[in-house]
Structure 1
Amino acid sequence: MEKRRSYVSYILLAVFTLAGALYLLRPLLVSNRNEATSAGTESSASSTAPAAPASGIVKEGEVVFLKGGKQFRKIDVEIAENDTERQKGLMFRPYLSDSVGMLFVFEEATPQSFWMRNTMISLDIIYVDQNKKIVSIQKKAKPYSEESLPSFGNAQYVVEVNGGYCDKYGIQVGDEIAF
């Protein structure tokens, strides 16, 4: 009888562990299901639909990259403007297209430092000062790393894009952004 009770305890523990894991993975599973649904109806969507739903980014604005005052790249961005949004960032997102990113907005320009905890994809992290000038770039940040990636100067804005994006499109320290 005691042995039977032990097996039941293990089975219940396994069931509760699986239920907990599914609960934690629910946002990712629902996101993937929505991507599959939107992919099937993409041709009937209007051109004013939110940008890049497959990447999980909800367009809240645009960031324009400027070189010598002239626009040379533009991306759609989701904006992280409060502590909760900034802490989550691009965590748990399995894909990011080159046409999208995330803009982090801070109240003032101070030294910033990001990490890649729970971030599934490599990112370029672009630190921007209060005058919207790029002060530093952390390129190809390693997924899931808890290594601190500092701004090496004061930054009021941070733009995250796909790892390798800055090299691919020639974005450099000294360039500017507009949004």
Structure 2
Amino acid sequence: MKIFKFSVLVFLCLFFACKNNKDKTVKPIEITFEKEGELYFIDKNDTIKTIAIELAKSDYEQQTGLMHRSSMEMDQGMLFMYQDERPRPTFYMKNTQIPLDLIYINAEKQIVEINKNAQPYNENPIRAEQPAQYVLEVNAGFVNQYKLSDSLSVEFKILKQ
């Protein structure tokens, strides 16, 4: 009889525990853009476009990048900042919902390479041959819209550390 009562008690506990969990819904995390600086595209001495940038400096920020974001404005981007200049073949689009253009920038802040239209959720590595110290991610189509090329340089101003 004791085993039966214990079994009924365990069953009731599990039943109510499971019932309470069914009423809860999981809401996705909303990640919003946080302006931490401005980046200027420069042709000779003329600024041709200015965008707001969010910075990816820590290992976690660089590994996460723009993952899990459903959108980004055309005048926004994420700037990956590294300590050294070298080839950066480790970019991929895992868990990234929006197509992106990747702009590789060397230590002298010259655009050295561009990869256009990286597709959402594609886990193949995005390779760049030229050494870069910075990589800028912007919406796909940005490079074509502003006719960006390796003849341009960039400057950026950090607003928030």
**1:174 equivalent in alignment to 2:151:** yes
Gapped runs of 5+ residues in structure 1?
32-55
Q: Structure 1: which amino acid aligns with 2:98? A: I
TM-score, length basis structure 1: 0.72
Name the SS of the counterpart of 2:143 in structure 1.
Answer: helix
CA distance in 2, matches of 1:141, 1:70: 28
TM-score, length basis structure 2: 0.80
Q: Percent identity?
A: 34
Higher helix share: 1
* Counterpart for residue 56 of structure 2: 80
**1:90 equivalent in alignment to 2:94:** no
- How far residue 153 of structure 1 moved from its aligned partner, in angstroms, is 1.2
**1:110 equivalent in alignment to 2:86:** yes
Q: Structure 2: which amino acid aligns with 1:141? A: A
* Counterpart for residue 133 of structure 2: 156
CA distance in 2, matches of 1:12, 1:144: 33
Q: Structure 1: which amino acid aligns with 2:149? A: Q
How many positions carry a matched residue from both structures? 144
RMSD across aligned positions (CA): 2.5
* Counterpart for residue 100 of structure 1: 76
Is residue 124–residue 141 contact of structure 1 (8 Å, CA) maintained in 2? yes
Q: Structure 2: which amino acid aligns with 1:65? A: F
For residues 107-150 of structure 1, the C-alpha deviation after alignment (integer angstroms, 9 at most, x for no partner) is 00011021111000000000111111111111010001001111
| 1:1-12 superposed matches below 5 A | 12=18
* Counterpart for residue 143 of structure 1: 120
Deviant stretches of 4+, over 2 Å = none
Q: 1:22 aligns with which of 26, 40, 46?
A: 26
Gapped runs of 5+ residues in structure 2?
1-10, 157-161
